[in-house]
Structure 1
Amino acid sequence: MSGTGRRRATWISAAAVAPLLALSACASPGSNDGATGDGEVGGEIRMLVNITDNLTQDRWEELVAPFEEQSGVDVKIEGPTGQSVAETFPALLAAGTAPDVIESIFPTIDTAPEVLDLTDQDWVADTPMVDTYSTDGRTNVVGVGTQAQSVLYYNKDLFAKAGITETPTTWEEFDEALAALAAAGVERPIAFASDWATGVQAQQIWHPQQNITTPAWQQAVAGEESTLGEQFEPLFEHLTDWIDAGYTTADDVATDSGTQEANFIAGTVGIYPMGSWFTTTLDASPPPFEVGVFAPPVDEASDAPGPLGATLAYPYMVWNGSSNIASATALVEYLATDEDAIKAQAEMDSFSRAGLDVSTNEYDALVQGLVDAAPELVVPGNQTVGDLALPVAGFNAKFTELVQGLWQGRSAAEVAADLSAWYDAEKTG
């Protein structure tokens, strides 16, 4: 993980904040050269955010309230007008009504020119994974923490019942563990979920081995040194083996993630692949058994643990067409660097960050242990920004659609071929 240090920003008044935002060059609002313009901090700004069961409107407003009080800026929190922030932001751009700050998504090929370059601001260098998410050395999205993707939660009671004394590190050991859970009568040895979750979970399991076999695999695909089919067919073969053995069934990809999480908490699931955000649910509804976590398997035990898949938590962007760039940038700096703001966001949706106190959430502490043990953090296939982005839009949705076909009887080779064909038809450049 790069750039994980942090400092506490001091927010006293609009007059005191403005000097903190002075950059080496000045430009009028709307330019994309890293400057905040000549405007002073104050006035009103709009922030488009993701609204969920835990990221509620009220909690967002509570989060920005200290900034409003200390800076004099009025922050208007807005949820998506479409199905998601990813759908809403481009629509608002086209309508000329884009928000000043955008949360939860990354720049795409189409929207990147509309996002402010923050590279020259001194506080940016200390934000998490800043180098990983940069493009040609430029930073136009910053995050507050990292959310580990490659986490396997397991039920220690069920492992003990199945006679599993150590968590598996290799694919062979993983298969043996699943077989032992099934033999012990565990209802769901490994649980996948429907909709977006199927593809994400599959990728999460594959991140370590994939990045051992082909480091920076996205660049290998983009450079035509490999294909998406080649990158994922070995994973599809593992999934097919588990489906054929009955460790996971077609019912999984018809069951939403909330229900599968409830099934894990109820004690009917042996292993549940999910991102670090699941710790928030576990902390709110602790299971009646001890939960453990381990990293996904790799081919050779000597390579364990492999690189850990991770994404930026709370990614923030500033619209470079904003009429109040100084205040928008001040808000993003506050959210990404202020200790109290960082803590508040971690309580809303768990993430890892060096120095962050995880002692109050035992499940966060478990995931932090995986992050600390990982040789490196790597970006998943659905990344849309940075030097490791695939030159194609819609990867995650298509990947999910195709991988669900494995549960419907399609072969690993068929799904891999379709994934490569889709990429060849959709890639840009």
Structure 2
Amino acid sequence: MTMMSANRGSKARGVVVAAVVPLMLLTACSSGTGASGSKDGEIRMMVNLTDNLDQSYWEKLVKPFEDKTGLKVKIEGPTGKSVAESFPQQLAAGTAPDVIQSIFPDDDTAPELVDLSGEDWAKNTPMFDEYAIGDAHYAVGVGTQPQSLVYYNKSAFKKAGITATPTTWKELTDDLGELKKAGYTPMQTAGDYQTGLQLQQIYHPTLNQLHPKWQSAVKDEKLTVGETYKPAFQMYADWIDAHYIAKSDVGLNPSQADGNFVAGKAGLYTNGSWFAATLAKAGTLPFDVGVFSPPAADGKSYPGPQGATMANPYMVHKGAADEDGAKQLVEFLVTDPAAIKAQLGSDGVFRKDSDVKQTGVGSQIQAILDDAPALVAVGEGQGNVRLPVTGFNPKFTEVAQSLYTGASPADAAKAIDQWVDENR
């Protein structure tokens, strides 16, 4: 998950700056070997450990680097609940690792990171410029997680008489009607965080054609979030009223929604590239799965820009005992063909124009990524394209869920604008 800035809004800035003073003093007093706690010839890398990306996965991944350089890489999990929580804590304690995986810089942590702008090997890595802060580049990634994807049940499409995937909103709405007639849940949705996420995902291509870099426009007070999303709220409310979306879905957890699609109950399901891993784990399904990019804005070319995030990002701590060795490790992780291949094979990570062979659903996602005219910031934003608030995604989900319980699109637009105004 992206670690977003805590001091973009003016109301939060005084508290955060006050908190940064002791942090800076601690890291300044703990520079050199003490800052990272590294032993000679050892590079500490903090990663998010998961069931499939466990300690042995990471140790196997860095073994060729160790063999080639003679440097030792120590893989560490977070000391707190996550890397996002642990890194700032370790910075303050003077025990931060040399390399940090899975999170992005924010306004508070950026001064403690190495700017990789001058590294030639970094410049062609995925979404390098999209994650710049000012003119600096603190994060480099292995690949991309496309987010604006619609998975569909090909058997359901055939039964409903749908012969091609939709490229316009009218076509999509018509298809939902045909899927309902054919006995399917037309569009699978879910509760929890996924309600707002799905609505953002399906609307990214349209929104970014109508309002490029819309997050920055909101920050500059040239747009409001409400006016940008009101058409999406209206579309969503219309689908709920037509029973193309089940009102009860707002009570489903995301894994239950996944299960409904896998069981063949739904025609369409908006989700990110990571859902491909869920489908792979499910084994042989009683239907073929297709994937398409959501419709574009009326009168605009299709496909539209693809909402995406940098995947497997790495950052180097400026206080690393061996800063050069840490940079060498990151260079290996994001440029070595074998290391890239290993990482692209996990958690729905893709790389534009990659020659890594994909099959099935993965090959369709790779084609969507390759055909995308642009990769654009999602949700709260990233790098230099950001909203002037933090905590946008949870609030947006709350607003989207209100549409299930009778709020009007105008109510939803007013609610999100009021929240942005109060939290700038």
TM > 0.5 fold call? yes
Deviation at 1:175, TM superposition (A): 0.8
Aligned equivalent of 2:398: 401
Deviation at 1:355, TM superposition (A): 4.6
- Residue identity matched to 1:126: N
Deviation at 1:405, TM superposition (A): 2.2
Aligned equivalent of 1:21: none
Indicate whether 1:283 and 2:280 are aligned.
Answer: yes
Counterpart-to-counterpart distance in 1, 2:120 and 2:327: 12
From 251, 266, 274, give the equivalent of 2:248: 251
Per mean C-alpha deviation after superposition, the further-off stretch among 129-138 and 54-63 is 54-63
Q: For residues 236-285 of structure 1, what are the alpha-carbon distances to aligned partners after superposition, in whole Å with 9 as ceiling and x for unaligned?
A: 11111112222223432332222322222211121111111222222332
Aligned equivalent of 1:17: none
- Residue identity matched to 1:334: F
Aligned residues: 389
Query: Percent of pairs identical after alignment?
Result: 50
Aligned equivalent of 1:377: 375
Indicate whether 1:181 and 2:165 are aligned.
Answer: no
Q: Secondary structure at the match of 2:345?
A: helix
Aligned equivalent of 2:16: none
Aligned equivalent of 2:220: 223
Q: For residues 340-366 of structure 1, what are the alpha-carbon distances to aligned partners after superposition, in whole Å with 9 as ceiling and x for unaligned?
A: 000000112232224533434221110
Where does 1:183-332 land on structure 2 (aligned, <5 Å)? Answer: 183-186=181-184, 188-284=185-281, 285-300=283-298, 302-332=300-330
Aligned equivalent of 2:54: 56
Contact 1:298 1:306 survives alignment (8 Å): yes
Q: Secondary structure at the match of 1:400?
A: helix
Aligned equivalent of 1:78: 76
Deviation at 1:42, TM superposition (A): 6.1
**Cα gap change, 1:234 to 1:88, in 2 (>3 Å):** farther
Per mean C-alpha deviation after superposition, the further-off stretch among 47-56 and 387-396 is 47-56
Counterpart-to-counterpart distance in 2, 1:64 and 1:383: 31
Q: Secondary structure at the match of 1:143?
A: strand
Counterpart-to-counterpart distance in 2, 1:71 and 1:65: 10
Deviation at 1:208, TM superposition (A): 0.6
**Cα gap change, 1:42 to 1:367, in 2 (>3 Å):** farther
Indicate whether 1:392 and 2:385 are aligned.
Answer: no
Aligned equivalent of 2:86: 88
Counterpart-to-counterpart distance in 2, 1:196 and 1:349: 19
Aligned equivalent of 1:170: 168
RMSD, matched Cα: 2.3
Contact 1:41 1:71 survives alignment (8 Å): no
Per mean C-alpha deviation after superposition, the further-off stretch among 67-76 and 273-282 is 67-76
Contact 2:159 2:182 survives alignment (8 Å): yes
Where does 1:8-157 land on structure 2 (aligned, <5 Å)? Answer: 43-157=41-155
Counterpart-to-counterpart distance in 2, 1:82 and 1:236: 37
Per mean C-alpha deviation after superposition, the further-off stretch among 132-141 and 203-212 is 132-141
Deviation at 1:416, TM superposition (A): 1.8
Counterpart-to-counterpart distance in 2, 1:366 and 1:400: 28
**Cα gap change, 1:88 to 1:41, in 2 (>3 Å):** closer
**Cα gap change, 1:56 to 1:250, in 2 (>3 Å):** farther
- Residue identity matched to 1:270: G
Question: Deviation above 4 Å: which 4+ runs of structure 1?
Answer: none
Contact 1:42 1:72 survives alignment (8 Å): no
**Cα gap change, 1:58 to 1:417, in 2 (>3 Å):** farther
Q: Secondary structure at the match of 1:118?
A: coil
Question: What 5-or-longer segments of structure 2 have no aligned partner?
Answer: 1-26, 29-37
Counterpart-to-counterpart distance in 2, 1:366 and 1:93: 41
**Cα gap change, 1:61 to 1:198, in 2 (>3 Å):** farther
Deviation at 1:105, TM superposition (A): 1.5
With normalisation by structure 2, the TM-score equals 0.86
Aligned equivalent of 1:363: 361
Counterpart-to-counterpart distance in 1, 2:81 and 2:401: 22
Q: Secondary structure at the match of 2:140?
A: coil
- Residue identity matched to 2:423: E
